[in-house]
Amino acid sequence: MTGRLRLLRSQQFPAILLLGAAAVGLLLANSPLHDGIEGLLGAHLAVPGTTLDLSIEHWVSDGLLAVFFFVVALELQYELTRGDLNSVRKAVQPAIAAAGGIVVPIALYLLIAGGPTTSSGWPIPTATDIAFALGVLAVFGRGLPTGVRVFLLALAILDDIVGIIFIAVLFAHDLDFLLLGLGVLAVIVFGALSRMLGGRMRVPAAILMVIVGLTAWGLVASSGVHATIAGVMLGLAMAPRPADATRHVLEPWVNALILPLFAFVAAFVVIPQLSPSELSPAFWAIVVALPVGKILGIAVFGWVAMRIRPRGTAPGLDFADILAAGALGGIGFTVSLLLANLAFADDALIRDQAILGVLVGSLIALVLAAVLVSMRARSHRRAAGAAA
């Protein structure tokens, strides 16, 4: 069991599992099994006594994925308080690079798909899938300086923050401020209970935290704010020490079950029988904006950040290393898939093509990143060998 948990906490295996689940979802969606699986995913499950009545597909994207965002928030809390982003001096360089990795993909997307039916998809190519990016770095980056990993991790975390803000602000609908206020109150209670986990009340507090956490999720989901935001708020509210322990416990489950299941459901789309010229501009915009927009934005803004870094900060990265990090940033996947579902929720045809665009664009970025990271790793190993 220990070996399995170690494997699921590794950086390579979860990325492979995620890619495999998406491939299986896409394959089955275009097989004779499509109708049966679609019927199963569309089946509704209601919570008695509440307004929650979701399909299995939405229980995965709104319910299980909230646990993923909860774990993301626990990591954000650590990095912002005790990690690589706990000061302006540490955060300024990846923040500038992250800004480029958001602004340039948005500009490219709107340049290609700025029409009235597709412009709402502009947030889709702004995300970086940290699990995939670190997985590719671990597989192909042996010999790279640790600064590259730190830079990429900070960059991806800042991307996550922006993605969370987009989800909270852009995709809220029919807001019920009373339910939202009660949800925030439940989050505060959850945070207070987490500070009782070190004493005699540990077991009752843990049980109450589960109940209050589920209540907060239900209230936020019913308020009109996307349910994953409840996971973010709960993660940020936890006391630091139990937050670290909770992330350690949940990480294998997120990697082994929640993310692959979401990838399967999100990638369960029928490939349209259209010529390339008939595909939606949203598809082409995402395919271009993810790999090209990310690498250009991160590389150019990152290079500028290294030139203007304050005195006393860590040594700057070579431009080629920043270029490799930019290619890794183009692997959008998880959050981009969620944003595609939200941006085109009312147009199934464009939504499915946008999802295909995320898969194709992320795959192009993955291949490009593997090549660039391998080249840079080989160069650093040669330099280290020559110095020895």
Neighbours of 211 (CB within 10 A): 12
State the DSSP code for 144.
Answer: -
Q: How confident is the model at residue 342 (pLDDT cuts 50, 70, 90)?
A: very high
Confidence at residue 313, expressed as pLDDT on a 0 to 100 scale: 58
Instruction: Enumerate residues 6+ apart whose C-beta is below 8 A from 71.
Output: 235, 247, 250, 251, 254
**Average pLDDT of every residue of the chain:** 87
**pLDDT digits over 184-213, tens only?**
999 999 999 999 887 777 888 899 999 999
Asked if residues 1 and 243 have their Cβ atoms less than 8 Å apart, the reply is no
Confidence at residue 17, expressed as pLDDT on a 0 to 100 scale: 85
Backbone angles phi, psi at 46, to 5 degrees: -105, 150
CA separation for the pair 252, 42 (Å, rounded): 27
Is the pLDDT at 337 greater than 60, yes or no? yes
CA separation for the pair 310, 339 (Å, rounded): 35
Q: Mean per-residue pLDDT for 36-54?
A: 85
DSSP-assigned beta bridge partners for residue 254: none
Q: Please spell the DSSP secondary structure of 199-262, one letter per residue.
A: STTHHHHHHHHHHHHHHHHHHHHHHTS-THHHHHHHHHHS-HHHHHHHHHHHHHHIIIIIHHHH
Backbone angles phi, psi at 53, to 5 degrees: -145, 90
**pLDDT digits over 60-117, tens only?**
988 888 998 898 889 888 888 887 777 777 778 888 898 999 999 999 999 999 999 9
3-state helix, strand, coil in the chain (%, to 5): 75, 0, 20
Q: How confident is the model at residue 3 (pLDDT cuts 50, 70, 90)?
A: low
Q: How confident is the model at residue 286 (pLDDT cuts 50, 70, 90)?
A: very high
CA separation for the pair 158, 130 (Å, rounded): 11
332 Rama class: left (phi>0) / alpha (psi -120 to 50) / beta: alpha
H or E element, residue 53: strand 53-55
Confidence at residue 78, expressed as pLDDT on a 0 to 100 scale: 86
Is the pLDDT at 7 greater than 70, yes or no? no
Q: Taking the model in full, what pTM does it have?
A: 0.85
Please, what is the end-to-end C-alpha distance for the chain in angstroms?
40
